[in-house]
Structure 1
Amino acid sequence: MKPRTQVYSILVVDIERFGRRANPVQIWLRERLYEIVGKAFSESGIDTDNGPKPSDRGDGFFWLLSGTDRTALTGRFVDVLDQKLRSHARTSNEEGALRLRVALHQGDVTDDGAGWVGEELNTACRLVDIEPLRTALASGPRAGLALAVSGEWHRQVVRHEDSSVASDTFRCVPFDAKEIQGEQAWISVPGYDAPPGISGTRAEDTSRGAATGRDAGTARADGGAAQGAAGNTRGGRGGGAAPAGQGPLAGARFDRVNQVFGGDQIVHGGQTFQWGPDPEEPAARDGGDGNGA
């Protein structure tokens, strides 16, 4: 029989500092974990009865969720889970502390008869272990959990700014782990405006960087044509130059490293362009024939 493959939302949770506790405490923490997560699902309106049961990982589990509202999972569920973990903390000492690293991802996962397998499942399990997520949780003592979502999850769910998801609290960090290189993860810690203890990029800053690249491409195309028409090239060919301080590139700043524009010029750093005659060659430009003679 061919193994069954299906697209799931993938939830992975790990208990912080689990291995440092004695065996009886670990057993008790695992019981509390399943109880708290189950109640958080129920109270956030997410039905898990018709899908696979959670798969244990010792210090946590992964749970494959089929047909789940991903916005509710990212927003309401995470909020309720954090509240319940904080309630647990109010009646527990350090030995019984139950704080979680949580990861959300999605994709194809296959049941091969012996268990679950798939690249996207591997990605989710790598995501919950990245160092920025560990640091954010350790640096946020008020929180019960720290959440990491994949770049795909952020793009499809978080960035749309649903009122139930605190999208402005997410920060982008590099996601490099074993076979995963050059990806992005987005981290949020409930109760904090930004994840503590780490340096990350805001969504609007990420978008602005992409827009800057597009704008530079426009300037490259338009500026090159305008420059040739005005005759304000280094060789002096053309019918004249616009007055100083005027022209399509006047005052423009180009900060893209190795940005090519105007046909044959490369900028290796930030530059400001002033439209007008070349101050180094006033005689050649004034009254000349345009070829420097």
Structure 2
Amino acid sequence: MRPKAQHYSILVVDIEKFGRRANPVQLWLRERLYALVESAFEESGIDHHSGPQPSDRGDGFFWLLPGTVDKTDLTGRYVELLHQRLREHARTSSEEGAMRLRVALHHGDVARDERGWVGEELNTACRLADIAPLRAALTAAQRAGLALAVSADWYRQVVRHDDPSVACETFRRAPFDAKEIQGAHAWIRVPGYDAPPGVPDPGVPDPGDAASAASAGAPERPAGTDRAGEDASGPFAGAHFDRVGQVFGGDQVVYGPQTFRFGEGGDS
């Protein structure tokens, strides 16, 4: 009989640099991880009891939360509380016992067979927790306890609606390329930062790209055309305008005197 899928919010958590620790430290970190995560669940009011138990992954886990869980609370208050717990942990731990987390949020249908959980959306959530931009953000954010990535679908349904607890303005879009997932995007946030460090702003042109530097991402113009791609051999070819930044395109009405100069020293 085919297993029936149910819809869950999917929380994935991985401990940074877990494999570099000695076995006794790994055991202690795992114990602390579950204690901190459940404490944040309890204080935020997130129902983590009525769904399945977490599925351990060694250096972390994935937790399938019931579809009734409020995604805004999970993205906002819960993440902030978990971050606070991690900062408290950091104040009393050595470098060997440090615990910082990569956290991912996604949702979708997941099924269970006799061996465990399976589903495309679960794969997506686990891939999301391991993308390079999320790793880079956590590495660069030395005063943070966690870095959060949400899927594009989660961002659209939850984050972009600008609930104050979610801090929408602090998320930054990043490429999501991992194994079978190519050309997708995720959104990354690091609590305590106005924007996630280590994640390039997609709205800023690459200074090494001449076309981007000249026109903020516009494609390079073919020879013999102007900025708008029009033929540069018309009546205004070579014209210089006496107002810096003046743009002409479409129907224009210009008031006041204007000076047009043709060539470097041509007639007006």
TM-score by length of 1: 0.71
Give the 3 Å change call, closer, same or farther, for CA 158–273 of structure 1 in structure 2. same
Aligned residues: 224
How far off is 1:273 after superposition? 7.1
Give the 3 Å change call, closer, same or farther, for CA 116–280 of structure 1 in structure 2. closer
How far off is 1:70 after superposition? 0.3
How far off is 1:269 after superposition? 8.1
Partners of 1:32 and 1:51 lie apart in 2 by: 22
Partners of 1:178 and 1:55 lie apart in 2 by: 22
8 Å Cα contact 2:172/2:199 also seen in 1: no
Partners of 2:161 and 2:134 lie apart in 1 by: 23
Does 2:228 align with 1:271? yes
Give 2:182's aligned residue: 181
Matches within 5 A, 1:202-213: none
How far off is 1:113 after superposition? 2.1
Give 1:47's aligned residue: 47
Instruction: Give secondary structure in 2 for the equivalent of 1:4.
Output: coil
Partners of 2:87 and 2:236 lie apart in 1 by: 69
Q: Greater relative contact order (Cα 8 A, min sep 6): structure 1 or 2?
A: 2
- Amino acid of the structure 2 residue aligned with 1:17: K
Percent identity, aligned pairs only? 66
Give 1:59's aligned residue: 59
Does 2:86 align with 1:130? no
Give the 3 Å change call, closer, same or farther, for CA 268–187 of structure 1 in structure 2. farther
Instruction: Give the alignment's Cα RMSD to 1 decimal.
Output: 2.6
- Give ranges in structure 1 of 5+ residues lacking alignment: 206-252, 260-266, 282-293
How far off is 1:100 after superposition? 0.2
Give 1:72's aligned residue: 73
Partners of 1:191 and 1:257 lie apart in 2 by: 36
Give the 3 Å change call, closer, same or farther, for CA 192–280 of structure 1 in structure 2. closer
Instruction: Give secondary structure in 2 for the equivalent of 1:173.
Output: strand
- Give ranges in structure 2 of 5+ residues lacking alignment: 205-214, 238-268
Instruction: Give secondary structure in 2 for the equivalent of 1:48.
Output: coil
8 Å Cα contact 1:256/1:269 also seen in 2: no
CA deviations on 1:186-208 (whole Å, 9 max, x unpaired) are 00000000001220337xx9xxx
CA deviations on 1:146-205 (whole Å, 9 max, x unpaired) are 000001100110000001111100000110001000100100000000001220337xx9
How far off is 1:257 after superposition? 4.1
How far off is 1:65 after superposition? 0.7
Instruction: Give secondary structure in 1 for the equivalent of 2:166.
Output: coil
Partners of 2:236 and 2:49 lie apart in 1 by: 78
Give 1:116's aligned residue: 117
Partners of 2:170 and 2:81 lie apart in 1 by: 17
Partners of 1:198 and 1:104 lie apart in 2 by: 18
Partners of 1:30 and 1:103 lie apart in 2 by: 18
Partners of 2:28 and 2:226 lie apart in 1 by: 58
How far off is 1:128 after superposition? 0.4
Q: Which has the larger radius of gyration?
A: 1
Give 2:15's aligned residue: 15
Partners of 2:123 and 2:42 lie apart in 1 by: 27
Instruction: Give secondary structure in 2 for the equivalent of 1:187.
Output: strand
Give 2:196's aligned residue: 195
8 Å Cα contact 2:133/2:174 also seen in 1: yes
How far off is 1:258 after superposition? 9.5
Give the 3 Å change call, closer, same or farther, for CA 40–273 of structure 1 in structure 2. same
- Amino acid of the structure 2 residue aligned with 1:35: A
Give the 3 Å change call, closer, same or farther, for CA 154–94 of structure 1 in structure 2. same
- Amino acid of the structure 1 residue aligned with 2:201: G
CA deviations on 1:38-82 (whole Å, 9 max, x unpaired) are 000010110111100000000000000112100000000000000
Partners of 1:162 and 1:4 lie apart in 2 by: 34
Matches within 5 A, 1:224-243: none
How far off is 1:268 after superposition? 8.4
